Structure 1
Amino acid sequence: MIRVTEQDSTYHDIDQMSVMDILRSINNEDKTVPLAVEQCLPQIEKLATAVAERMKNGGRLFYIGAGTSGRLGVVDASECPPTFGVPFDEVVGIIAGGDKAIRKAVENAEDDDQQAWADLSEFNINEKDCLVGLAASGTTPYVIGGLQKAAAQQVLTGCIVCNAGSPVAAASEFPVEVVVGPEFLTGSTRMKSGTAQKLVLNMLSTTVMIRLGRVKGNKMVDMQLTNHKLVDRGTQMVMNELNIAYQEAEALLIRYGSVRKAVLAGTKTKE
């Protein structure tokens, strides 16, 4: 396979550029990423539809990856409970090298093709669940090994990669291949490739949660009320939905713990 992610940057002598030229060049490259993602919408649709169906039947969603890709998976998974009110173990992000690798690179962690399945087995992953492998290169042994083992156990498999025709995609039932081209800084896949993966992860988890009924209208009605800003946001939602005063809406929200429950209770009271 041709690893476009490793090809030389089309920009030369970037160390001689002015600050504005560096910024403008990076920005120009970043503009191409959403267009590349757009080309993959049919692939993303298939993955999101399949994941939502599994999760409707009690399945969970797992992400595995190394380096930047692994960190992006951890971020997306960690945002699902506060945003959508799902249990913390319903969407799980696993990074090669363990949680310490979130902050500091762990040497050779991504080269072990057996460790991902060992990590996943700690969560008793099974045929009800979904596994999405994240690897910009599409060649990470940790991810390939995890996907292959998962597929053999009838776990639904997908991936988000940034090279075409990769081993990671070959190991996935629902591959998403977002080819964004060479990076501004040669081989630095935390840049365009990372942005592409983040965009697809946003689309995947948000779409799945909407399909699971975790959104009403365009509101996060199951979000966790973990700070004053979110309590205020939730109060405004309850106010608007029930057409009541702020203090009454806030009292309902605090009493019932979520916008959904507060609105339901307020609606019954009005009846």
Structure 2
Amino acid sequence: MFSRVVRNSHAKAAGGGVQLDMRVAIALEVPLAMREAHEGQLKLAISRLTRIATLQNNSILAQGALFLVHGMADPENPRYKLEGRFCAKSFLELHVLGRSTHQCCASIRDGSCRHCNKMACPALHKRVFSLQISIDGASAAAHELLRRGARWEVMQQNLRFAAGLLEQGLIERLSLSFTVQAENFHEMGEGSLNATSIYFGKVANWGTFSPAEYAAKAVFLPDHPQHQAFLAAMADPRLRSPRVQRGNLLEFLPENSAVAA
């Protein structure tokens, strides 16, 4: 009964009889795809879920369903086995130092440290364990394109300062994060800063981009015109460094993409 209701509603929407909010569309598409998967039509279900997950990248429902159906299609792939991967301990995040007038703990994460004189901030010393800085490019062109209003020379100065804190033992970890997209994937292996680690992950759409804009950025999608160039960039030996965390890009390493093919 439920399946018939979903199918009939979907047919009306597909025929242009009704206009659906994206959240309603997801609520219809996901159960329909799961029904298809249950019936053994895994390729059809994956195709449907891939489309909806691309249109609404921040939908946990769509992303989770796509992950589940991929696991049904490839049950021996360790990527889809989640047992033992999650730590039960809660995570603590320090945004601003307690009982301090300094506000730079929040802003230092984007490399700007704009709210205080970072060279004269003794309240920070020995009280910050780790710095995490988003840097979505290894050149002025990519950085200033993706970070509107940013200046590459200022970012470089602040990165050198952060690296100095690590070298002096004033912090224990310096982590960089790099959001991979069409504008910067070719720079993934260019980083030279002596950071503890650098994380690479897919660009996500949290409502910032239209579906068309996101599809143009999502170079990791198989039908993207630069997808083969992206796969070639993933083969860069510099991405094999122990400091590199490849996050949700692991499936695009040469050995993994070959198995998937």
Asked if TM exceeds 0.5, the reply is no
Higher helix share: 1
Using the size of structure 1 for normalisation, the TM-score is: 0.28
Using the size of structure 2 for normalisation, the TM-score is: 0.29
